[in-house]
Amino acid sequence: MRNQALIWNTDTSLQVTSLTARLRGFAEIGEQAGSVHVSDLWDGQDPFPILAHQWALAGETLAFEARVRGMHLAFEVEPLLDVNGAVAGVTGRAVEIALAGSSLANAYPHAERAAGLGTWHEDLRTGGVTISEGLANLLGLPYETTQLSLRSFDHPADREHISQTLADAANESSYLCDHRILCQGGRVRAVRERVRTMFDAAGNAIARVGSLLDITDLKEREAELSELALHDPLTRLPNRCALEERLHAAFGRCERNGRRCAIFFIDLDDFKAINDQYGHAYGDRVLVAVADRLTRHVRSSDTVARMGGDEFVVLIDDLFTNEAAADAARKILRSLDEPLRIDDRPIRVRASIGVATYPGAGTTPPALLSAADREMYEVKRNGGNGIKLATAWQAHSSPARTRYETRESA
């Protein structure tokens, strides 16, 4: 079978559903043989080929090397998907690693690098460790390494999380843990670590096999998607979803410390005229500038969010009185007195601000936002450029008490 690929497929129970004639001959399986399990193909000293199939059923794609029946093979194992995208089994391919210098000799290291994968095998009877070239490359170790402590590469900030994972899996034969590692040279990577302990017929642990899969790009993409899900793409401010989460947290703090929080619903009075005169692209730049102005005039512990269009919401936390909320709203309104400068052009914006405090004006995020929104529209109906404070709110009725203030246009 030298230089010829061995190819096979299995179902979800790892029963072989098809295999090439070369593999049948290699595994010494007769044409009349009944059901064949993947272990019948790859039974040998190295348990990793069987373990790789189990991980492939969990959605992993693996490239590794192993010695089976005296041959050094480069494996590629991946999930076999049905027409709906569900895992229906495993598909695999193995090629003998030929003499050094041949193209096949480099097949496995290239496959590992492409997959960002490294594997290792520890013989618990001798203490010897075999690592793949992919793992050596990932960790920055010599390929000839025979002693390995994965824990020495754990990122200090993740050690408590890793220790807890290991403690929870103390009575299990395997574990999975996502964490960061510090490689040789100080390079930080995010990895998915899988380890399984192998036992003999008497139940004695004889080996541990594992893999590290570099998932740095995946984690960065997840962070990007999370950022997009919770932030406005134009201004990078928190969006409504993020604001409601922060409101829930603020309500909890108010309950614990007996203080108040407030939200300011802000709508720009002149934004349509700016869009009509200068265009929407220029209007977007005005919104970014307003977002920056608002952020610079609140505390770092407060939240400025964009609801959409020219509507912003500010969440002010840790207030003792409603008057403190009114003072903060006045400060924000005054912050807009100074013209914005876009392309060296001074742009004046005015705003209508509705103010609602917790717990007086609403006890849920939607109720508090609705109260502030109504107060903001009341300011707009009276000419804008002012604030209106609602200190109590009763369902299906007008505010129990409000105060309306306007500022003269500069």
Q: How far apart are CA 359 and CA 361, in angstroms?
A: 6
| pLDDT (average), residues 126-152 | 83
Q: What is the mean pLDDT of residues 184-198?
A: 89
Q: Is there a single domain that holds both residue 130 and residue 78?
A: no
Confidence tier at 166 by pLDDT (50, 70, 90)? confident
Band the pLDDT of 105: cuts 50, 70, 90.
very low
Same domain, 236 and 218: no
Mean pLDDT of 368-395: 84
The mean pLDDT value for 10-28 works out to: 91
Return the CATH number at 327: 3.30.70.270
Co-location of 207 and 237 in the same domain: no
Q: What is the pLDDT of residue 104?
A: 46
Mean pLDDT rounded to a whole number for the chain = 85
23-27, 199-203, 215-219, 378-382: which range is least confident on average? 199-203
Tell me, yes or no, whether 290 and 173 share the same domain. Answer: no
Residue 295: the pLDDT is 95
Last residue of a domain, one of 206, 229, 252: 229
Tell me, yes or no, whether 184 and 36 share the same domain.
Answer: no
Residue 146 pLDDT: 73
**What pLDDT does residue 192 have?**
92
Please state, in angstroms and rounded to a whole number, the distance separating the CA atoms of residues 390 and 140. Answer: 62
- Rounded Cα distance between 62 and 111, Å, is 9
pLDDT of residue 266: 97
Of 113, 133, 155, the one marking the end of a domain is 113
Same domain as 172, residue 154: yes
CATH of the domain at 80: 3.30.450.20
pLDDT value at residue 397: 38
- Per-residue pLDDT tens digits for 69-104: 878 788 889 999 988 889 999 999 998 876 434 444
Question: Which residue matches tokens 């919104």?
Answer: 287
pLDDT score recorded for residue 141: 86
The total number of structural domains in the chain stands at 3
Same domain, 260 and 394: yes
Q: What is the mean pLDDT of residues 167-178?
A: 85
Lowest mean pLDDT among 190-199, 320-329, 393-402: 393-402
Which domain covers residue 332, as residue numbers? Answer: 231-406
The pLDDT assigned to 276 comes to: 92
Are residues 36 and 164 both part of a single domain? Answer: no
Q: What is the pLDDT of residues 335-346, one digit of tens each?
A: 999 999 998 889
Are 97 and 13 contained in the same domain? yes
Model pLDDT, residue 392: 54
**What pLDDT shows up at residue 1?**
45
pLDDT-based confidence at 274, cuts 50/70/90? very high
Q: Which of 213, 229, 245 is the last residue of a domain?
A: 229
Q: What is the mean pLDDT of residues 364-370?
A: 92
Q: Which residue has the higher pLDDT, 3 or 129?
A: 129
pLDDT exceeds 50 at position 409? no
Please check whether residues 107 and 58 belong to one and the same domain: yes
- Pick the more confident residue, 173 or 392: 173
Q: Are residues 122 and 162 in the same domain?
A: yes
Say which residue, 264 or 43, is predicted with more confidence. 264
Question: Quick one: pLDDT at residue 96?
Answer: 81
Q: What contacts 120, CB < 8 A, 6 or more positions away?
A: 129, 130, 131, 132, 135, 148, 209, 210, 211
130 and 81 inside one domain: no
